């Protein structure tokens, strides 16, 4: 394409990593028990939302890079906050490594994410970040309902 | 820049407009009274969150295009759901028109948004969308707590 770059591949990665830092902070704020049990309106506890995010980011990217269209599996079986934080931290360098393997030229190619969602790769990646913001915001409301102040939305470092 | 385009200017606009459609659907789901009064954990009612979004999107873009660094004003004084929907709909074509006036070459230039947030324009625009996703998700939780099913997250058309 001949148009100017409005957002570089590296800028998008840094944007995502900033969001991951904020999501990690949000996870840290939860008391152990509430993380696995607290819910509003029949929604999932924050631990399950985090497991959804974990089962999308690294496995989704790995699928894109290795061209494997395996279904996702949100049931990761992580049962403590320490386990969730450890998986989050273990995934971050893998995410960076996998993301860096996607050629810029491929961002407009279709990929059938998890064997189910056939969209251009840029669109799949935007979805990962959007979905993380969406579920983390749910966590913010849970924290407020628990009387706990969430992190600042702009704290991404 | 010499790198390939991972996301075109038009694709980013369409991405944003898709989110605006979903936010509008979320607003439509609220009962009139709950829109202005329902709250969890001391957070603002959804009407105020919508007014925040309204006071950022069109005015923020206008500031970028007209290079005016006026402060934002969330207190729009809209007091009915019909007024909020009408303003939302009136702003969408203005957003398209203003966005299309930003040259691609300018996306990496710094702009002191609302006279307060000095970042590259691409970063300001990502923030607009992130902030919309974040507050809309809060609305999703309010709806669930009210026993109302929110729209599907992927319904952006």
Residue A76 located in a structural domain: yes
The tally of domains found in chain A comes to: 1
* A79-110 pLDDT tens trace: 999 999 999 999 999 999 999 999 999 999 99
Is A121 a member of any domain? Answer: yes
A1: pLDDT confidence band, cut at 50, 70 and 90? very low
d(CA A118, CA A70): 13
Q: Is A112 left (phi over 0), alpha (psi -120 to 50) or beta?
A: beta
- ipTM of predicted complex: 0.96
Q: Considering CB atoms only, which of B3, B43, B123 is closest to A141? A: B43
Residues of chain B neighbouring A52 (CB-CB closer than 8 A): none
Q: Each residue's pLDDT tens digit in chain B (157 positions)? A: 446 899 999 999 999 999 999 999 999 999 999 999 999 999 999 999 999 999 999 999 999 999 888 888 888 999 999 999 999 999 999 999 999 999 999 999 999 989 888 999 999 999 999 999 999 999 999 999 999 999 999 888 8
Q: Is A130 within a domain?
A: yes
Query: According to the model, what pLDDT value does residue A91 have?
Result: 98
Average confidence score pLDDT of chain B: 95
- Give me the pLDDT at residue A2, please: 47
Question: Which member of B9, B11, B40 has the closest CB to residue A141?
Answer: B40
Q: Which domain holds residue A90?
A: 29-145
- Asked, for residue B4, whether it belongs to a domain, the answer is no
Instruction: State the best of B1, B2, B3, B5 to mutate against chain A, taking most chain A CBs within 10 Å.
Output: B5
Q: Which of A1, A2, A3, A7 to mutate to test binding with chain B, by most B CBs within 10 Å of its CB?
A: A7
DSSP-derived secondary structure for A86-142? HHHHHHHHHHHHHHHTS-GGGTTSEEEETTTEEEEHHHHHHHHHHHHHHHHHHHHHH
Closest CA to A74 of A60, A61, A64: A60
Mean pLDDT score, A147-157: 92
Residue contacts between A and B (CB atoms, under 8 Å): 121
Structure tokens given for A117: 């969602």
**Interface residues of chain B, partner chain A, Cβ below 8 Å:** 1, 3-9, 11-12, 15, 19, 40-43, 104-105, 107, 122-123, 126, 130-131, 133-138, 140-147, 153
For residue A139, which of A47, A62, A73, A71 has the smallest C-alpha distance? A47
Residue listed under structure tokens 């990646």: A125
**A78 in a structural domain:** yes
Task: Name which of A1, A6, A142 is nearest B12 (Cβ-Cβ).
Answer: A6
Q: What is the CATH number of the domain that holds A67?
A: 1.20.120.450
Cβ of A6 within 8 Å of Cβ of B131? The answer is no
Instruction: Tell me the chain B residues in contact with residue A105 when contact means C-beta distances shorter than 8 Å.
Output: 4
Convert the pLDDT of each residue in B33-59 to its tens digit: 999 999 999 999 999 999 999 999 999
B156 found inside a domain: no
Asked if the model's pLDDT at residue A157 lies above 90, the reply is no
| Nearest partner of A93 among A67, A129, A139, A61, judged by Cα | A61
Say what the pLDDT of residue B4 is: 82
B1–A5 CB contact, under 8 Å: yes
Chain B residues in contact with A123 (beta carbon < 8 A): 15
Residue B18 domain-assigned? yes
Does residue B1 sit within a domain?
no
Chain B residues within an 8 Å CB radius of A4:
1, 5, 9, 104-105, 107
* Residues in chain B within 8 Å Cβ distance of A1: 4-5, 8
């Amino acid at each position: 394409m001949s148009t100017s770059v409005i957002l570089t591949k590296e800028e998008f990665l840094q944007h995502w990593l900033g969001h991951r830092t904020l999501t990690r902070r949000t996870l840290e704020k939860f008391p152990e028990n509430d993380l696995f049990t607290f819910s509003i309106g029949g929604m999932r506890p924050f631990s399950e939302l985090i497991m959804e995010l974990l089962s999308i980011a690294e496995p989704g990217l790995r699928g894109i890079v290795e061209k494997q269209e395996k279904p996702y599996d949100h049931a990761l079986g992580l049962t403590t906050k320490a386990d969730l934080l450890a998986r989050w931290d273990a995934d971050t360098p893998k995410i960076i490594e996998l993301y860096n393997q996607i050629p810029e030229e491929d961002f407009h190619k279709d990929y059938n994410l998890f064997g189910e969602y056939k969209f251009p790769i840029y669109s799949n990646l935007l979805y990962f970040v959007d979905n993380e913001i969406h579920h983390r915001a749910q966590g913010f409301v849970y924290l407020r309902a628990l009387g706990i102040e969430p992190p600042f939305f702009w704290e991404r470092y």
